[in-house]
């Protein structure tokens, strides 16, 4: 016996006042309806309905059972409706992991606007430049930058992360401005450690690809730390434009080797595979993709469209070589 179906039929019999009407509404025969209610009564060990040739009436046990079942069914229907609403209306607790520099420089303003638009969402943001395990650590999604290797995650491109080779004007005045990547071997490099082979920089131009082994006194897992050291003239660095773009526009830093291209990274929103994407997560991903896009505001004035396309094309080619 399907107890859930029997309970639904029992409520229908009481509402309609007859087995025939309840059976018709349920799409079964009157005999099937009567048999299912008898099976329910036998399972419970009590008579629920008094049957006469003229009418049906509830026993005392039937009245109590009806009250409880009606309340339970109402709660189940409410839960189902709420679950469906959660799939269509952004709401609930949303836990996000993101890298520190990108979050403080760009996510903070974006998330403020997102929460204004979605007042039913409660956002928890965890900042860490090392990649969290989304499933183990209980994150709904993460922002990741670079090349993804974890096939257990679904990724959506949010924006490009174009790279710049930069140095302070004072450093270049003291040590000279390199005109070829190979000359960086004689310069002081400041290195970001959370990428493979972080002391090997790759440059591309036309059909040429140059891999340069660099060295220096500062190795750090945070881009803002490196950017501050570059501004103070400690050395040269390769940094994403979302960190150093404003410093280049203000003149505090200067681009070097502008006619060479560095491999372009990608900013992704990632979330675990194998589950329905809740509205709260989907709405944040859609919002960030629309806000940043293929030509993000942090690249304003640094690349023209043709140059940006060349960077993406040649950078990917260099990364494969």
Per-residue pLDDT, 299: 93
Residue (of 156, 194, 167, 133) closest to 258 by Cα position: 167
Per-residue pLDDT, 124: 94
Per-residue pLDDT, 311: 47
Domain boundaries, the chain: 3-88, 92-161+265-298, 163-255
User: What class, spelled out in words, does domain 163-255 have in CATH?
Assistant: alpha beta
Per-residue pLDDT, 316: 46
Judge residue 217's burial from the number of C-beta atoms within 10 Å of its C-beta, 0-12 exposed, 13-18 middle, 19 or more buried: exposed
Per-residue pLDDT, 240: 95
The CATH classification number of 3-88 equals: 1.10.10.10
Per-residue pLDDT, 82: 64
Q: What are the CA-CA distances from residue 12 to residues 22, 25, 52, 165 (Å)? A: 5, 8, 18, 74
The CATH number of domain 92-161+265-298, selected from 3.40.50.300, 3.20.190.10, 3.40.190.10, 1.10.560.10: 3.40.190.10
Are the folds of 92-161+265-298 and 163-255 the same? yes
The contacts of residue 118 (CB under 8 Å, 6+ apart) are: 90, 91, 280, 283
Per-residue pLDDT, 138: 86
User: Within 10 Å of residue 175's Cβ, how many Cβ atoms?
Assistant: 15
Give the tens place of pLDDT for each residue, 277-316.
888 999 999 999 999 999 999 999 887 644 445 544 444 4
Those residues of the chain that have pLDDT short of 50 are 305-308, 311-321
Give the tens place of pLDDT for each residue, 103-129.
999 999 999 999 999 999 999 999 988
Query: pTM of this prediction?
Result: 0.67
Q: What are the CA-CA distances from residue 30 to residues 25, 33, 43, 146, 165 (Å)? A: 11, 5, 20, 65, 81
């Amino acid at each position: 016996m399907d107890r859930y179906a029997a309970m639904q039929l029992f409520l229908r019999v009481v509402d309609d006042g007859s087995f025939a009407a309840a059976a018709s509404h349920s799409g079964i025969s009157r005999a099937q309806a009567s048999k299912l209610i008898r099976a329910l009564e036998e399972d419970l060990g009590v008579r629920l309905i008094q049957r006469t040739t003229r009418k049906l009436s509830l026993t005392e046990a039937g009245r109590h059972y009806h009250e409880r079942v009606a309340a339970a069914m109402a709660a189940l229907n409410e839960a189902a409706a709420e679950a469906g609403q959660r799939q269509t209306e952004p709401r609930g607790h949303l836990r996000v992991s993101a890298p520190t520099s990108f979050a403080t420089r760009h996510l903070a303003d974006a998330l403020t606007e997102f929460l204004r638009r979605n007042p039913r969402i409660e956002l928890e943001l965890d900042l860490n430049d090392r990649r969290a395990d989304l499933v183990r650590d209980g994150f709904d999604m993460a922002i990741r930058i670079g090349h993804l290797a974890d096939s257990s995650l679904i990724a959506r491109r949010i924006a490009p992360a174009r790279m710049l080779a930069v140095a302070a004007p004072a450093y270049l005045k003291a040590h000279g401005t390199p005109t070829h990547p190979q000359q960086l071997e004689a310069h002081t490099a400041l290195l970001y450690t959370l990428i493979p082979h972080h002391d090997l920089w790759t440059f591309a131009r036309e059909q040429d690809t140059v891999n340069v082994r660099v060295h220096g006194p500062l190795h750090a897992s945070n881009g803002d730390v490196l950017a501050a050291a570059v501004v103070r003239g400690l050395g040269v660095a390769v940094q994403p434009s979302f960190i150093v773009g404003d410093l280049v526009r203000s003149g505090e830093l200067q681009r070097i080797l502008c006619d060479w291209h560095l491999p372009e990274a990608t900013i992704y929103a990632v979330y675990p595979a194998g589950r329905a994407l809740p509205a709260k997560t989907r709405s944040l991903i859609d919002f960030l993709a629309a806000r940043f896009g293929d030509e993000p505001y942090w690249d304003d004035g640094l690349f023209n469209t043709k140059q940006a396309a060349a960077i993406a094309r040649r950078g990917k080619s260099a990364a494969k070589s």
